[in-house]
A and B are shown apart, each in its own frame.
Chain A
């Protein structure tokens, strides 16, 4: 167990190093490195001063070394736009993105698994075929377009839900979480549904596939031969088996949802990391972009690790 964790940590560092190298090379070599550190409006003198001051006349590997050194002490440069450390700016906005992603995943799972189960248990019925057709529609719908439609219908036409922004927050677990507040939830609902749509379809299809695979296996028949009620055969025997691959995929998709929040946050003006990074790309606020990429990569690897551990917990054969 310990060995696995250590190995994963080593892998994490490797991937982070490679990513940082790629990002570094990309930004520093393709563009003018001075742009990274200087306000785009600065004049020539200022640029030269910065160039010497930051040792940008040094060979690349020296620069990279300093970059890494700074990074390890938590300094990824200051944001041009906000004038504060880029890392702080990102971390401030992270709870908003995480809560949106969490709400989206909850919606996708709570609706997706039961639908997928039904579609798998009665695959030839009309409802099941409807669910499957709906799922293809679900992952074909362009997320950003659906977002616009949701705003148009629910916010503009019907006026049920607010169209943009994040609601008031409630302090919990040391963070400011808005979905625990009723108003906050109303603000988060449309973007979360938007974000959830794609994953919902995926979960439905995955659950159904798992059910189809497992329902033919001997242990299911044996459970019925024991005279167990159908509710128990499906709710305990089947569910516990399909949970294992399901949890794995859901965990991995969480990372993908966090990344895809970029789009949803832009449409709904949700003040999370995603909107920040899009704005940063347009404003050429490169420290923020770099900080976002590195933090997100680290987040993914963390999620992967947690999912692996969870797998070991759920599947007794692995322990």
Chain B
């Protein structure tokens, strides 16, 4: 069996992971084509009718147009559309911050492993200290000082994540650095960049990907939490967290759909990423295989 075929077989051994992969793909596709399949544009304030506010799922619009399959929120927004657009935003922010953090953190970690010495020590110390702080605290400090806004949130999310990537990349690259063929490569006079790119990087990639999936899931959750608290994305681009928080006040009067459905969407997103990431970790890390 080729390595790729074996990988696919190992991954598919867990039905849960397959389920997660399917759900994740569906979510990604749906979020991508949201503008085309959403019944309504939830950002277009002109289109909203306050008369339609807080309608339960399945009700028709006052003017007899749309059927609100999942109900409407406090401003008459169709929940389905709001969720679809909210998914887009949440995924974008989570993935963007995750990828940037992976590049920055992973890059720093690999370079630290290669250079060693003072640079490595200092970097790892910073990483350790930062990892000693809960993510939410770091994000809070940043938002409190930098203010609110999409870019600030992304910066906060990147700051929270880079250290994990740095640590993972460094230890993976470290185990390569200490192997004998590295000395051989250096002896042959191969350029630094070449060594880093061809040898250290491919070894650091699998654990980075594993950490990456978990981190992106965390980032999405953290962004939702911040938005819920009112410290995250602005109301002009409602993420799922904000939708849930909007629905909070209506929950006690039984209008559950405004908070529950966006929450389910959020849960499915995070859950599917975690299911996939968990199986990836089991498959890519032979030492932990049962």
Contacts and interface: CB of A to CB of B under 8 A. Distances in A.
B285 to A, nearest CB: 12
B270 A142 contact: yes
Contacts of A267: 248
Given A148-B263, A263-B136, A140 B274 contact: yes
Interface stretch (A62-70, A149-157, A176-184): A149-157
Contacts of A209: 288
A142 B221 contact: yes
A124 B13 CA distance: 14
B136 A26 contact: no
B275 A144 contact: no
Contact of A266 (B229, B244, B254): B229
Interface residues of B, number: 43
Interface stretch (B41-49, B137-145, B164-172): B137-145
Contacts of B59: none
A26 B132 contact: no
A142 B263 contact: yes
Given A23-B141, A145-B266, A263-B228, A136 B136 contact: no
Interface in B214-234: 217, 221, 224-225, 228-231
A289 interface: yes
A304 B133 CA distance: 11
B274 A142 contact: no
Given A30-B145, A133-B16, A262 B140 contact: yes
A260 B134 contact: yes
Contact of A136 (B221, B271, B288): B271
Contact of B229 (A15, A133, A278): A278
Contacts of B290: 123-124, 212
Nearest to A297: B133
Interface in B163-200: none
Contacts of B244: 142, 144-145, 148
A126 B241 CA distance: 35
A67 B223 CA distance: 32
A133 B17 CA distance: 10
B251 A156 contact: yes
A162 interface: no
Contacts of B1: none
Contacts of B288: 209
B245 to A, nearest CB: 8
Contact of B134 (A123, A212, A255, A266): A255
Interface of B: 16, 129, 132-134, 136-137, 140-141, 143-147, 217, 221, 224-225, 228-231, 241, 244-245, 247-248, 251-252, 254, 256, 259-260, 263, 266-267, 270-271, 274-275, 278, 288, 290
